[in-house]
Amino acid sequence: MKRNYARFYTLLNRMPTSDKEELKVELVRQYTNGRTTSLKELTDKEYDAMCDGMQRQVGGYKAREIAREELRRKRSAALLLLQKNGIDTTDWNRVNAYCKNPRISGKEFGKLTVEELELLCIKLRLIMRKNDKNKDYSQLN
């Protein structure tokens, strides 16, 4: 029976690599224990195992992309709040100096995790709220 390689090539195109042909040869060699480098010479069992392995790897790649996107969104939100608090966000030295303060985060901005960025955003909002209250009280005098 003639095999359709659409599943393999769909998964191959989703995998991060610069040389698809080299990756294909390496995958076939890996799943045949070095017996061949040709897709046509794979047994059905080897082909299914290879595609299943690629599916797991592509799924993990997407999870990394989702995590990276979440980190990017949290960083963007934190930078916006830093800017609203008067920190020059175009100067990374200033941003890092501010974030390194133990009362803020104690770390450089680029080394903060998603959870730490969430805490930083909370602290920055509290600082903004406190500054707004102080402005209101100063207007009463």
In tens, the pLDDT along 9-43 reads 988 988 888 899 999 999 999 999 999 999 999 99
Name the pTM for this structure: 0.57
Domain boundaries, the chain: 6-66, 69-140
Two tokens, residue 89: 């966000």
**Which helix or strand (DSSP H or E) is residue 127 part of?**
helix 114-140
User: What 3-state class would DSSP assign to 57?
Assistant: helix
Nearest to 76 by CA among 65, 68, 105, 106: 68
